[in-house]
């Protein structure tokens, strides 16, 4: 899988892309990340990529021409998505990561800066994606989160792929509590059911914990899960 990241700060990605499972996956060429600086495509002598907004206002906007030139310089794979990372986009959730990991060979990620990008950049874009209902200083942080979330779903990245099927959000619920040795740490003891060896009881306990945890911590997710469960029963 190929990622093309249009970014004014390529150095931002160097350490994260070389660390942990993500770095290992890239070294194994499960995915490849290419960093493209739109400043390299600016045509004026100062290599400007931003300018004042028409109509006035606070801050600067990224100019459209360097971004267009950067994206148009890239190869085009058959299954391609061009994504603008912006607070105005659709929230990044696990189903979207699954879709991107399963259905695309190339993801072009445009990282905004300053007060955003010229509206005409949207003519390049096939979708807008947000990390959440908050504003960051740059689009590199959500772009890195998207790369991490997609690559970990690609075959070969996670050692035990079964673990991907039993984690938060995969079935609409948060993950269940998990414990490791020692069986008792200070005054906190591992639940007896997990030490029982009864896999049917453990599975039932985990499901109950998922439901309870989601209901307590994320009522919004719980409500959606109940609706989908009721629909499946009809």
Say what the pLDDT of residue 71 is.
Answer: 98
Residue 129: its H or E element: strand 127-130
Q: Do residues 60 and 114 make contact, with C-beta atoms less than 8 angstroms apart? A: yes
Q: Do residues 86 and 116 make contact, with C-beta atoms less than 8 angstroms apart? A: yes
**CATH architecture assignment, domain 2-151:** 3-Layer(aba) Sandwich (3.40)
* Cα distance from N-terminal residue to C-terminal residue, the chain: 39
Q: Do residues 39 and 8 make contact, with C-beta atoms less than 8 angstroms apart? A: yes
Q: Where are the domains of the chain?
A: 2-151, 166-233
CATH of span 166-233: 1.10.1270.20
Residue in the structure block whose two tokens are 């200070």: 186
List Cβ neighbours of 36 (8 Å cut-off, separation of 6 or more). Answer: 4, 5, 6, 7, 70, 73, 74
Say what the pLDDT of residue 233 is.
Answer: 74
- Does this chain's domain 2-151 share its CATH topology with 166-233? no
In terms of DSSP bridges, do strands 50-51 and 32-36 run parallel, antiparallel, or are they unpaired? Answer: unpaired
Structure tokens at 12: 């931002």
Low pLDDT (below 70) residues in the chain: 160-168, 170, 234
Q: Do residues 209 and 176 make contact, with C-beta atoms less than 8 angstroms apart? A: yes
pLDDT digits (tens, 9 = 90+) for 26-48: 999 999 999 999 999 999 888 99
Residue in the structure block whose two tokens are 């390299």: 40
């Amino acid at each position: 899988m190929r990622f093309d990241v249009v970014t004014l700060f390529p150095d931002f990605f160097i350490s994260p892309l070389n660390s942990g499972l993500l770095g290992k996956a890239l070294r194994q060429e499960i995915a490849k990340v290419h960093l493209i600086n739109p400043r390299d495509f600016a045509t004026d002598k100062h290599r400007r990529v931003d300018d004042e907004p028409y109509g006035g206002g606070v801050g600067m906007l990224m100019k459209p021409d360097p971004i267009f030139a950067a994206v148009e310089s890239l190869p085009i794979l058959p299954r391609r998505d061009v994504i603008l990372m912006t607070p105005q986009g659709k929230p990044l959730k696990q189903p979207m990561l699954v879709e991107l990991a399963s259905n695309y060979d190339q993801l072009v990620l445009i990282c905004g800066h300053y007060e955003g990008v010229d509206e005409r950049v949207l003519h390049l874009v096939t979708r807008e994606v947000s990390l959440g209902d908050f504003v960051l200083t740059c689009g590199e942080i959500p772009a890195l989160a998207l790369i991490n979330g997609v690559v970990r779903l690609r075959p070969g990245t996670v050692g035990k792929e079964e673990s991907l099927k039993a984690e938060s959000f995969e079935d609409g619920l948060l993950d269940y509590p998990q414990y490791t040795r020692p069986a008792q740490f200070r005054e906190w003891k591992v639940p007896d059911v997990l030490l029982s060896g009864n896999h049917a009881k453990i599975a039932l306990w985990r499901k109950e914990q998922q439901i309870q945890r989601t209901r307590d911590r994320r009522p919004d997710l719980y409500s959606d899960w109940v609706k989908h469960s009721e629909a499946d029963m009809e």
